[in-house]
Structure 1
Amino acid sequence: MKAKISTHKNQTVSKIDPRIYGSFIEHLGRAVYEGIYEPGHPTANEQGFRQDVIDVITELNVPLVRYPGGNFVSGFKWEDSIGPREERPKRLELAWKSIETNEVGLHEFMEWSRESNTEVNMAVNLGTRGIDAARNLLEYCNHPGGTYWSDLRKENGDEAPFNIKTWCLGNEMDGPWQIGAKTADEYGRLAEETAKVMKLVDDSIEVVVCGSSSSKMPTFGEWEYTVLDHSYESVDFLSLHLYWENFENDLPNYLAKSVEMDRFIKDVAAICDSVKAKKGSDKQINLSFDEWNVWYHSKDADAKREPWDIAPPLLEDIYNFEDALLVGCGLITLLNNADRVKIACLAQLVNVIAPIMTVKDGEVWKQPTFYPFMQASNFGRGKVLSAMNEGPTYDSVEFKDVPYLESTVIHNEENNEVVIFAVNRSEDSSLTINTVLEGFENLSIIEATELADYDPKLTTQEKHDAMELKKNDRIEVDGITVSGQLKPLSWNMIRLAY
């Protein structure tokens, strides 16, 4: 099969916001306890955080981590997480039916974020709480001093403000599973007033208002429009959430599911712009895809788990090669929509539907999904170019005219690089690609790598080095044309200097 990609140096979709490579840590399962935090582990630092985990997270170059939830936040009293550890209460955590010890709290997580070289995307509780708790938390985190809450922060060990700039106004407030779920009118009014008050405390912050929990919710579309109709001028981003499943074991259809993500983004952007037009506003609402990933492998095991343990092993999906390919398609989709998607959070980072897994008292290891995310985050910086993708397509059970080649082209002016990410969805045919990069001169290959030649069901659980990125020596450059072969079922990165 043959495919062609063509673009020009001046054809720009958008500059990439680095926050598109964000992730997510929730007080859920072993994400925090036995994940990032394990006092007594051979690599644990003075705060109890595992240095081996921090080192692997640093490889991913994650600029932003959403915290502390997720469903957890809708029942969370943030004041439980500050002050002396020995005085913090243990609580029934209703979202995941666990015991929350509050051993890792706000100050500890901020210290972890500094050591991990990432910013925090803080969520506030708009389920069981509201405006007052949100503005108090913001004052505690960001105000320099001289007030009750900011001075309490200093007493608790942090003289300087945390200076958190990105805030989520609750989580999945349309979902009946959510503690304190609301109608669109109820939530829209609360979000408007909460955002207004928070920006009175600190007008430098940006806030994310909840969109639908998925595009399959019965109120999808109507929810977005109503919430934004209430809150448009006070908020900055609208959230999207999407999880993929492959219970049918239909690989062609599974790998096509990034098409659903693209459609979701474009539909929600259109709703945002409809509200903008109605209000005659000059402001553009951008999108925060702050939960996305594969999630289905662990659901049967989770359904059998007894409640009220501390840090039970929940949502511990063991990913395989086909999951890595779909995550790669998702990354490409987010990048190709970088004009509207400015924040995205792979859910989650450690142990819970995560690219990184830990063993208690033992090792840290990488899942297959680690590799495409690592390459995209480290090398997908700069501007996305508008590229025409011509090639063969197929129909699956859910989707029509799915291209075998999923690709994006990135121009990194700072490094004088062009980077191509591509997935070949075909199970049995190589793709011969011909990429024309007009406007560039003296192109040469820095590196060409592939994740390929693996059984779709292969995991790295038993043999942690069972999967690796390999050199692709079939890529050639001739003038402004880059050509070569992409193997069947492969994730590919081509880096070019100019």
Structure 2
Amino acid sequence: MKAKMTIDAADRVAKIDERIYGSFIEQLGRAVYDGIYQPGQKTADANGLRQDVIDAVRKLNVPIVRYPGGNFVSQYKWEDGIGPKDQRPTRLDLAWQTIETNQFGLHEFMDWAEKVGTQANMAVNLGTREIMAAANLVEYCNFPGGTYWSDLRKQNGREKPFGIKTWCLGNEMDGPWEIGQKTAYEYGYLANETAKAMRRVDPSLELVACGSSSLDNPTFGDWERTVLDQCYDNVDLLSLHRYYGYYGDDDPNELDNYLGKNVDLDRFIKGVVAICDAVKAKKRSQKQINLSFDEWNVWYHSNQQDEETEHWQKAPHLLEDIYNFEDALLVGSLLITLLKNSDRVKMACLAQLVNVIAPIMTTDDGVWYQSIFYPFMQVSNLGKGVALTPHVAVDSYKSREFDAVPYLDSIATYDEEYQQLVIFAENKHQEDELDLDLSLRDLTITEVEEATEFCGYAPKQTNEDGVMKLHPLTGVKTHDGHQLTAHLKPLSWNVIRLQVK
């Protein structure tokens, strides 16, 4: 099978906002406790933060992390997680029906984020709390001093403000599972008034309003329109959430369908963009609302286990999907789709980061990397600069849900400062090698700096034994500085990094 790809340095999707490679830590399961925080673990520092986890997260180069939820935030009282630990209350977490000790809270998270080298995307509770609780949290985090909340921060050991700039106005407020579910009008009104109060404290904030928690919700579309009607002028981004599962056992036709779910993601993004722009037109506004895809991933492996988990435990094993090779291929394609829409998707959060539907898993003795770790690591570290519009000619296939899924899913990013062009390319064919013929316009290849492939594993194979690795992609050839050929194996994730001029 053959594929032709043309890249023109002037044909750009957008400058990539690197926050598109963000992630998510929720007070859920073992994400925090026994995940990023485990006092007494052999690598933990004096504050209980695991250095082995910090090192693993650094490899992913995650620029922003959403916290503390998620469903958890809609019943969370942030004041419970500050001050002396021996005075913090133990609470029932109604979201996940577990016990929350509050031994990890705002200060611990910000300490961890600074050690990792990431920024915070802080969520406020608009389920069971309202305007002033959010405004007080901004004052606690960002106001220099001389007021009740800012001085309490200093008393709790943080002299300088945290300076958190990005904030989520609640979480999945359309969901019937949410504590404090709202109608679209109720939520839009509350989000608008909360945004106004938070910005009175700190006018520099960037605020994310809740879009639909799922494309499948019956209120999708109407929710976005009604919410934005209420708060368009006082928010900057609208959130999207989407998870994918595999339900076909060993049917090879279902694998074709599963690997085509990036088509669904693209449709979802473009649909929400259309709604945002319709509200913009209606309001005769000059302001553009962009998107924060602040929850996305594969999630289905742990469903049965979670249903059988006993309630009211401390840090139980919840949502601990063990990912396989086909999941890594889908995650790679979803990342490519986010890049293809980087003109409007300005932030995204792989949900989640450690132990809970996560690329990084922990034991008491150390960490191990799931299959999805590898494509995410490569895109987050190498996908810099601008995303270039892909022009690809390749055969496509029809699956159960999708009429035309291209066998080659690919995009290129161009870092003009370092003169680097990176091609991310996935061959979705289960049996055939794909001969890639790449043509460059306005750029000349001076060196193939790196070429890797992630392939050769059975679709259902996991990485619990640590055997999965990136391997050299051999046989990459350049011709006259403007042509490149490569052979992409069946079911393979490939990355080619070029020095250009």
Q: Tell me which interval the TM-score lies in, with the shorter structure as reference length.
A: over 0.9
Whichever residue aligns with residue 485 of structure 1, its letter is H
Taking the TM superposition and a 5 Å limit, the aligned residue runs for 1:332-343 are 332-343=336-347
Give percent identity, aligned residues only. Answer: 61
The SS at the match of 1:459 is: coil
The SS at the match of 1:293 is: strand
The SS at the match of 1:310 is: coil
Aligned residue for 2:498?
496
Aligned residue for 1:481?
483
Whether the aligned pair in 2 keeps the contact of 1:410 and 1:419 (CA below 8 Å) is yes
Taking the TM superposition and a 5 Å limit, the aligned residue runs for 1:127-138 are 127-138=127-138
Aligned residue for 1:411?
414
2-structure distance, mates of 1:442, 1:96: 52
Q: Is 1:150 the equivalent of 2:150?
A: yes
Whichever residue aligns with residue 473 of structure 2, its letter is N
Aligned residue for 2:77?
77
2-structure distance, mates of 1:134, 1:426: 49
Q: Is 1:314 the equivalent of 2:318?
A: yes
Whether the aligned pair in 1 keeps the contact of 2:445 and 2:498 (CA below 8 Å) is no
Whichever residue aligns with residue 212 of structure 2, its letter is S
The SS at the match of 2:233 is: coil
Whether the aligned pair in 1 keeps the contact of 2:16 and 2:346 (CA below 8 Å) is yes
2-structure distance, mates of 1:266, 1:435: 27
Taking the TM superposition and a 5 Å limit, the aligned residue runs for 1:62-461 are 62-249=62-249, 250-359=254-363, 361-461=364-464
1-structure distance, mates of 2:53, 2:452: 25
2-structure distance, mates of 1:187, 1:69: 17
CA deviation map 1:365-415 (0-9, x unaligned): 000000000000000010001121110000000001100000011001121
List structure 1 segments (4+ residues) > 6 angstroms apart after TM superposition: none
Whichever residue aligns with residue 492 of structure 2, its letter is S
TM-score (ref. length: structure 1)? 0.99
Q: How many residue pairs get matched? A: 495
1-structure distance, mates of 2:362, 2:161: 32
1-structure distance, mates of 2:348, 2:58: 18
Whichever residue aligns with residue 383 of structure 1, its letter is V
Whether the aligned pair in 2 keeps the contact of 1:443 and 1:477 (CA below 8 Å) is no
CA deviation map 1:23-58 (0-9, x unaligned): 000000000000001111110111101101100100
Whichever residue aligns with residue 35 of structure 1, its letter is G
2-structure distance, mates of 1:55, 1:387: 34
Whichever residue aligns with residue 484 of structure 2, its letter is V
Whether the aligned pair in 2 keeps the contact of 1:62 and 1:377 (CA below 8 Å) is yes
Q: CA deviation at 1:441?
A: 1.9
Whether the aligned pair in 2 keeps the contact of 1:135 and 1:201 (CA below 8 Å) is yes
The SS at the match of 1:406 is: strand
Q: CA deviation at 1:442?
A: 3.8
Whether the aligned pair in 2 keeps the contact of 1:443 and 1:480 (CA below 8 Å) is no
Q: CA deviation at 1:247?
A: 1.8
1-structure distance, mates of 2:332, 2:150: 42
Whether the aligned pair in 1 keeps the contact of 2:328 and 2:371 (CA below 8 Å) is yes
2-structure distance, mates of 1:202, 1:486: 51
Aligned residue for 2:472?
471
CA deviation map 1:89-143 (0-9, x unaligned): 0000011000000001111110000001000000000000011100000000001
2-structure distance, mates of 1:227, 1:100: 32
Taking the TM superposition and a 5 Å limit, the aligned residue runs for 1:9-24 are 9-24=9-24
Query: Structure 1: which 5+ residue stretches go unaligned?
Result: none
1-structure distance, mates of 2:423, 2:199: 40
Q: CA deviation at 1:78?
A: 0.4
CA deviation map 1:449-471 (0-9, x unaligned): 0101110011011x12x110000
Whether the aligned pair in 1 keeps the contact of 2:70 and 2:171 (CA below 8 Å) is yes
Whether the aligned pair in 2 keeps the contact of 1:82 and 1:156 (CA below 8 Å) is yes
Query: Structure 2: which 5+ residue stretches go unaligned?
Result: none
2-structure distance, mates of 1:177, 1:95: 8
The SS at the match of 2:151 is: helix
Whichever residue aligns with residue 414 of structure 2, its letter is H
Q: CA deviation at 1:475?
A: 1.2
Deviates more, 1:247-256 or 1:376-385: 247-256
Q: CA deviation at 1:443?
A: 3.3
